[in-house]
Structure formats: C-alpha cells, structure tokens
Amino acid sequence: MQSIVRLLLLCALASHAAGWARERLNADTLAQFGGTYSMACGTPTSARLRVTADALIVESGNQRMTGTDPQASYSFFGQSPPRGFQVALLSQVRGMAELTFMVYRDRVGNYVELDGAPNVRAALGPSLTGRRYRQCDGAAMAGGGAQPPPMSAGRPNMPPPPLPPPQAAPAGGNPAVLIADPRFGKTWRAMLGSAGREPWLADMDGPAPEPRWVTVGGTRYVLHSFCKPHDCYDNNVVQLYSPSDSRIYALIHRTNRDTLVGDPPPQMVGDLRKLWQGEFRQSR
C-alpha cells in the first residue's frame, strides 16, 4: 500500500514539474523578450527593467535588484494562461527568493508585470509592483508585428516617415474634445497595468463631470474625473492630461486604496490628492 501511495505522489510531482517546465534564456527568447522595459521609455529617470542572458534587473533611482540564473517558463500557467500571456522569466535574488518578470502582449506590444516571492515584492514596494512596463527596444516592441515590404530592384528600402507629434492644445481648446482623442485613451490604457482588466477603468466608463482646464505647478492640464457606475464613492479616478506631450498623471481610488499612475513627481502627488478631494469628497 505504501509503495502505491509513493508512486502516486511521484506521478503528481512529475506532472506539476511538467507544468512548470523552464529553460535557460536562449537566443530566440532574448530576441523576443530581451532588452529594456519602462513605464516611460523616453524618460531617463523612470524605473526600468532589463532582461539579459545572465540576469533580470530592476532599477529605480538608487534602488537596484538583480535576479541571477534567469530561466523562461512558457507553461507557467499550465493549460489556462491569462489573456496575452507570453512567458514567465524567473530568476533568483541573492539572500531573498524568486524575482519574476511576467511578460504579456497586447496590440501595443510586449509589456512586463513585476512579480515574485512575498519578500521580493515587499522589497520592491507598491510603487514598482502592479505597474505595466513597456518594451523599449527589441524585435517585438511594435504591436502590429508587420513585416516591411520587400526591396524594389535598384531602389533602397526606405523606412516609413515618423508619425507627427501630437499638436499642442490651444489655450482655448475644448477639454471634452481632447479627452475624446483616441491617443488619450490609448495612452491611458497602456499605463494602467493589471488594473486595465477592469472595464470601467480601461474604458473610463462611468459618471463624469465635464472636463476642464486647470493649472498645476505652472502647467495647464485637462482635469478629467470619473467613477465606477453604481459605486462612485468608493471607486473613482482623477486625471491630469497634458495634450502637448501626451503626459497623464492620475490617482485611482478603489475601496480605501489609492494608486498613482504616470509616475507623478512628489509635488504633483499632493495636487492630485487635493483635486480628488474636491471632485469626490466635497459637496459639488
């Protein structure tokens, strides 16, 4: 009887190990998922993740965490992976436990969500976990994956012209029109990370006052606020949007927990909280 139980246990362990099959980062994995990831690729001071053949690295200001012996697990979730899942990149932090880069893909491209053992997540803190880090370089950065047209005989294959930058909003621009701009919605969804799985947040679907211009720190922004249908008091958002450079800063309030979006500078955090108080905690 004991031998039968032991055999069943060994079979169960073997099945579990198969579901978590992992391998060293080979050339194909590095070509697809290697490189640098960031919440704001064009901002040098923004937190960055790096995937190399030898390490997974998290850098934010003077903070740095390195996980060695990186491995890839394409079957991390077994037969039921979440939507967009590509691969789990696993590594070991010295003196701690596992640091994991969960790589997903959407129509914009690849992005990473930080994960790991509880002590690793605690060391990183909420300002780094729960965010979405976009791939800044690498072959899989673009979301469409379209291949360039073949070269014509005797004619070089010229790259397509760059997209024009967003036009600066005029002083009297209509805030409602600016908020309705598809570029605003696309940027917002890209910044949400795992919170984007909630439709009311991703689609900004809920009761909302008319957007308006405000001046914060000497800069003009469109103030846009909205809340979850039928649960406005406990689930709501204030956004500050700069149409000239597509910057968005936001405070998301969900059931007594606040989340900052867009990596706002310290002086901006206080302004966001004051605006939130005015929008959702005072008589209108």
Range list of β-strands (E), the chain: 23-24, 35-38, 48-51, 55-60, 63-73, 85-93, 98-105, 110-116, 133-135, 212-216, 219-227, 235-242, 247-254, 257-261
- CA–CA gap between residue 282 and residue 266 (Å, rounded): 24
Residue 246's domain comprises 175-280
Residue 122 lies in a domain: yes
pLDDT of 22 reads 60
pLDDT digits (tens, 9 = 90+) for 137-159: 754 444 444 333 333 334 343 44
Sign of CA dihedral 74, 80, 84, 88: negative
Domain of 215, CATH number, reads 3.40.1420.10
Nearest to 237 by CA among 211, 215, 220, 258: 258
Our count of domains for the chain comes to 2
Encode the chain (284 residues) as per-residue pLDDT tens digits: 555 444 444 444 444 444 445 678 899 899 999 999 998 888 888 899 999 999 999 999 888 999 999 999 999 888 888 888 999 999 999 988 899 999 999 888 899 999 988 899 889 888 888 788 999 975 444 444 433 333 333 434 344 444 344 444 344 467 777 888 788 888 898 888 888 888 889 888 888 888 899 999 888 999 999 998 888 889 999 999 988 888 899 999 998 889 999 988 888 899 999 999 998 887 54
Residue 11 lies in a domain: no
Residue 152 lies in a domain: no
Residue 88 lies in a domain: yes
Is residue 107 domain-shared with residue 188, that is, in the same domain? Answer: no
Is residue 118 domain-shared with residue 181, that is, in the same domain? Answer: no
Is residue 124 domain-shared with residue 34, that is, in the same domain? Answer: yes
